[in-house]
């Protein structure tokens, strides 16, 4: 049975869930440009490439069960034999990205703002902020988000399954990661004050990811230049 607190967490994320963003809506209809698909991957790379220290910051003051799933998440993302960053860049390249330029470049201001927010959350005195903002506000969105993107990637845009591995892989992986984060917050947020604290950071995480999607949509799809 789903707890009332978990429902509250899911509800605050749903208020700004990127599955409902105009970029996702257009993507799901098979109408978003190749440039925006490339930009989505490039900006996602600039977000995740620096998350190692963020994960470690969460672990500093976290209980053992939270440390375990956070490190497991980090190990999975950075596995040298199956790097999730390499999988992501594969999709960027399939859409015309110059990977040398991507590696040398930087994200849009909206991407950098989102990353700074997540770093701030992870460095709060309580680990609850980081888990709520990153694992709940952000990561728990992926299964629904990518499930909505996948049909168009396969049926309209006609990608090879190898090139869209990032999407189908994270439908399952992030459902597992998000599930463990929900369970940890349910277990450790034992007072109304702690629950409200977690709800605040989860809502902020979702809000900031929506802003990050705004940047991609405006810059790569609508042609409103946010950076050179």
pLDDT, position 2: 83
Q: pLDDT tens digit string along 145-168?
A: 999 999 999 999 999 999 999 999
* pLDDT at residue 177, as a whole number: 54
- pLDDT at residue 33, as a whole number: 98
Q: What pLDDT is recorded for position 1?
A: 75
Per-residue pLDDT at 4:
96
Q: Which CATH architecture has domain 4-221?
A: Up-down Bundle (1.20)
Determine the Cα–Cα distance for residues 181 and 24; give it in Å rounded to an integer: 25
**Could you say which DSSP state residue 18 is in?**
G
What is the reported pLDDT for 40?
A: 98
| CA neighbor of 66 nearest in space, from 151, 189, 158 | 189
What pLDDT score was predicted for residue 184?
Answer: 96
Q: What is the dihedral of CA 153, 159, 164, 169, to 10 degrees?
A: 70
Contacts 24+ apart (CB under 8 A), 115-120: 115/46, 115/47, 115/50, 117/204, 117/205, 117/208, 118/51, 118/54, 118/205, 118/208, 119/53, 119/54, 119/57
**What is the per-residue pLDDT for 75?**
80
In the chain, domain spans: 4-221
Enter the DSSP assignment of 17: -
Low-confidence ranges of the chain (pLDDT < 70): 79, 81-82, 173-178
pLDDT for the residue numbered 77 = 72
pLDDT at 225: 94
């Amino acid at each position: 049975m789903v707890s009332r607190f978990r429902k509250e967490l899911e509800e605050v994320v749903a208020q700004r869930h990127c599955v409902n963003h105009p970029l996702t809506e257009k993507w799901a209809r098979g109408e978003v440009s190749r440039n925006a698909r490339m930009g989505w991957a490039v900006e996602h790379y600039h977000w995740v490439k620096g998350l190692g220290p963020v994960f470690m910051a969460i672990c500093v003051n976290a209980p053992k069960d939270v440390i375990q799933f956070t490190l497991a998440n980090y190990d999975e993302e950075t596995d040298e034999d199956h790097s999730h960053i390499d999988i992501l860049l594969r999709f960027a390249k399939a859409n015309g990205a110059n990977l040398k330029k991507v590696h040398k470049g930087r994200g849009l201001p909206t991407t950098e703002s989102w990353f700074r927010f997540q770093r701030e959350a992870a460095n709060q005195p309580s680990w609850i902020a980081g888990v709520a903002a990153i694992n709940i506000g952000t990561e728990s969105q992926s299964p629904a988000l990518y499930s909505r993107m996948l049909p168009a990637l396969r049926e309209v845009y006609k990608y090879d399954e190898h090139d869209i591995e990032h999407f189908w892989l994270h439908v399952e992986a992030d459902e597992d990661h998000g599930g463990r984060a929900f369970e940890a917050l349910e277990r450790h947020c034992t007072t109304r004050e702690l629950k409200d604290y977690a709800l605040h950071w989860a809502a902020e995480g979702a809000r900031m990811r929506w802003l990050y999607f705004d940047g991609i949509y405006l810059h790569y799809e609508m042609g409103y230049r946010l950076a050179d």
